Amino acid sequence: MNKPDESMDAPSAEDDRGGMTARRSSHWFNRTVAGAGITSALGDFCYETTTVVLPGFLAVLGVPAAVLGIIEGIADAVASFTKMVSGYIADKLGHRKLLVLVGYGLTPVGQVLIALAAGWPLILLGRLVSWFGKGLRGPLRDAIVTQSVTPETRGRAFGFHRATDTIGAVAGPLLGVALLGLAQGWHWNGADGPFRLVLWISMIPGLMAVLAFLILVKDPQHAPNPGLKFFSTLQGLPLLFKRYLASVGVFGLGDFSHSLLILAATTLLAPSFGIVKASQVAGLLYVWRNVVQVAVSCPVGFVADRIGHLPVLITGYVLGTLTAVLTALACWAGTDSLPLLVGIFFMAGLYMAVQETLESTVTAEMVQPETLAMSYGALGTVNGTAKFISSSLVGVLWTVFSPMLGFGIAAFFMFSGTVALIRISPR
């Protein structure tokens, strides 16, 4: 019987920059990669369950639909800017795993606040707590995964991580909807009872995520850098990385929330299917998008490790642009073609798999290890801010003019970001 591979716990590569020693496995699928993937799946299971039941919960509480948009927008903004600060704190103090544990622990805390809410203020607070935790943990977890493997296998590691992450995003909403349907047949004192039950149950995977990260993940040695200055470090990031962030930001200005894809599908199918059935079909199309993302994330990582991460990321950006173009054309034609919509959501799943797998790995190729977490924070902040602007812009153009114009402008920004990314020449 062969002995277990011990290379993952022994230093195999040393980086003297910033006094950092990174322990990397000779095999990409190590305990840390597996643990981070399991943790992300459980974490996504927790908060994506809330995402799918929150609109209905607000409706039975009598909260206007506009408040949902405000809550989600504020929460996304908090998560985006938290990523920058958390990366800086981790690089300065060196305590990455502890901060990630706090971040995952805040998600079930937010669930408790939402489950107890009788109105929108406590729901807003709960969402802010959860999204603050999401922003706190993201860049630091990615930095840990990056430094637990060799540069040649980062694509595979992140492909596995994004696949497991999306499994939670598929399973959570499906189970949430199933539990909601089951609980509606029980006796409750009010219509909000089934929703609160789902919210309480969703805490279980949230707590399991904290335990999984604590037990399974080993943070490679990371020396603190107490002299690190926030603004001077940002200014000192490599020019190539700044150009990369600019390209990501321009693309992000068109990278609208895919809840708008669901709305577009619902709108197009409603005349033929009726609003209720159209909503159900649109929801299944979104699950299909997530299934595609799960299926292709690992292959994307393997391909990128072989031919280069940046070229594959550019291909993903091209697919994103085509997704927006086809959605705009579908809205212009007013088509209710289900095969076309299946194709659009398939393409959306493909480009999301590439984007979420490789934006982090390209970042790692461009920056120094001692500022890796802060660089991931900058990437998350740019992405989150741009996406918030994009979703708002597409929504306003849809309402004031037409959905075709909204998605058409999105396609323009995505195309511009793709061209900017093509013009980047790695040193």
Domains annotated for the chain, with CATH where assigned, are 20-223 (1.20.1250.20), 237-427 (1.20.1250.20)
pLDDT, residue 67, reads 65
DSSP-assigned letter for residue 219 = P
- Other beta carbons less than 10 A from residue 288's beta carbon: 17
pLDDT, residue 246, reads 92
Please give the Cα distance from 297 to 290 (Å, whole number).
11
pLDDT, residue 174, reads 79
Nearest residue to 164 via CA among 16, 66, 38, 306: 38
Read off the tokens for 2. Answer: 């062969």
pLDDT, residue 276, reads 54
Please give the Cα distance from 91 to 137 (Å, whole number).
13
Four-point Cα dihedral 234, 239, 244, 248, nearest 10 = 40
C-alpha pair distances (Å), 199 with each of 6, 258, 319: 41, 23, 35
pLDDT, residue 8, reads 37
Please give the Cα distance from 266 to 269 (Å, whole number).
5
First to last CA, the chain: 46
Nearest residue to 112 via CA among 31, 202, 229, 194: 202
CA angle 231, 355, 241 (to 5 degrees): 30
Please give the Cα distance from 125 to 74 (Å, whole number).
10
Q: Which residues contact 413 (CB under 8 A, 6 or more apart)?
A: 250, 251, 252, 253, 254, 390
Full pLDDT tens readout for the chain, 427 residues: 343 343 333 333 334 333 343 444 457 778 888 888 888 888 888 877 777 677 667 767 877 655 665 676 677 778 777 877 777 676 666 667 888 898 899 988 988 998 888 888 888 898 889 888 888 887 778 778 877 777 777 777 877 877 787 788 788 877 877 787 777 678 777 777 788 888 888 889 889 999 988 888 887 765 566 666 666 666 767 788 888 999 999 998 988 877 778 778 878 887 887 765 676 677 678 778 888 887 888 788 888 888 888 899 999 999 999 999 999 999 898 888 889 999 999 999 999 989 888 888 888 888 877 777 778 778 878 887 887 788 778 877 887 888 899 899 999 999 999 999 998 865 4
Please give the Cα distance from 4 to 323 (Å, whole number).
45
Q: Which residues contact 366 (CB under 8 A, 6 or more apart)?
A: 238, 240, 241, 244, 375, 426
Q: Which residues contact 108 (CB under 8 A, 6 or more apart)?
A: 46, 203, 206, 207, 210
Within 13 A of 191's CA, how many CA atoms are on the CB side?
Answer: 8
Please give the Cα distance from 412 to 32 (Å, whole number).
39
C-alpha pair distances (Å), 68 with each of 51, 65, 74, 216, 228: 11, 5, 10, 36, 39
Q: What backbone phi and psi angles, to 5 degrees, belong to 26?
A: -75, -15
pLDDT, residue 227, reads 62
Please give the Cα distance from 36 to 407 (Å, whole number).
35
Q: Do the Cβ atoms of 321 and 418 come closer than 8 Å?
A: yes
- Other beta carbons less than 10 A from residue 54's beta carbon: 22
Longest dimension (CA), the chain: 69
Nearest residue to 47 via CA among 171, 193, 191, 181: 171
Q: Do the Cβ atoms of 140 and 100 come closer than 8 Å?
A: yes
- Other beta carbons less than 10 A from residue 214's beta carbon: 16
pLDDT, residue 415, reads 96
With 0.75 as the threshold, say if the pTM is over it. Answer: no
